[in-house]
Structure 1
């Protein structure tokens, strides 16, 4: 089975996710996608056989624009999004996130995602110019189907990884998952 095609099918069958993608696409941000829980939670919900999706506590709209790395711009975009929908938006230009994370400057959205704490979180979805769902996944989508939460080797601080698992309650929400370090 083509797991990427399956994810696209699941997203296209989810009216809220398609609405969020359409709203995000209208912002015309460079290198954008809706990432982290937007895709990860959907896949884990489906693997666990949940009838309905778990609620998203935020929708992470990420993009890459090295020409304007001000957090003010992110807040402006977030306010604009909240003005057109009730989704819980969180907007972050990945061109500046390397400084917060103590990394070398990232070169793209996908490069930035390759530094995220968990491999399974580094998956995003966007719409191309023709409205088709595209997947952005520096580690591919296969890890999402392995019932694992995997520490990214670029982030060796296990304490951050363990804190995220505990605080986000992933093992309680999706009990078939196994921590993979």
Structure 2
């Protein structure tokens, strides 16, 4: 797996090399490529937790619950359209041992407040959605480009991922979400160094 496009992070090659240890990732990426969804990325714990596992000497898939496949399609925000994609994904990924969760990030604002208690402005892209994760360490995405190379989206870099540092990202998700996730992660990866949520307002004030 090689990165598509330039990167200034010297850890990029190490990141892609580490992902190769997880046998499910190439299969999920191949299936996602076949689905050919708009603006898609494989994201979430399947990426940074693979690095945590390899770094700490655990089996590469240890503690990984699912493989998040995000796409962005604002042309139809109905649940029926998203469900059709989810059902197509079941046909593609049905034989995999890994559980693949597919979500249209263009629809997140429709249900986010009911689930997490804070409003979510519409995401303009999957990259924007990834940038809103509760921890900067989680803000990662990988997709296969048409030329076969891999594009890595890592707006906060890769240092914290390899250093086992979990850093809060107070731009959308509330403090309770960050603290619940980090408590759960610490039970599985006690080597993590979890930084505290910053004191002060939950989120930056909205622009006038």
The TM-score normalised by the length of structure 2 is 0.77
SS in 2 for 1:26: helix
Change in Cα spacing, 1:76 to 1:157, as seen in structure 2 (3 Å) is: same
Query: Quick one: distance in 2 between partners of 1:82 and 1:153?
Result: 34
- Structure 2: segments with no counterpart, 5+ residues: 1-8, 114-118, 197-208
Change in Cα spacing, 1:91 to 1:143, as seen in structure 2 (3 Å) is: same
Greater Rg over alpha carbons, structure: 2
Aligned residues: 179
The TM-score normalised by the length of structure 1 is 0.88
The structure 1 residue matched to 2:47, chosen from 39, 43, 49, is 39
Change in Cα spacing, 1:55 to 1:158, as seen in structure 2 (3 Å) is: closer
Query: Quick one: distance in 2 between partners of 1:170 and 1:149?
Result: 10
Q: Is the 8 A contact 1:110 1:137 kept in 2?
A: no
Q: Is the 8 A contact 1:98 1:112 kept in 2?
A: no
What's 1:172 paired with?
Answer: 187
Query: Quick one: distance in 2 between partners of 1:122 and 1:171?
Result: 18
Query: Quick one: distance in 2 between partners of 1:12 and 1:147?
Result: 19
* Pairwise CA distance, 1:13: 4.7
- Structure 1: segments with no counterpart, 5+ residues: none
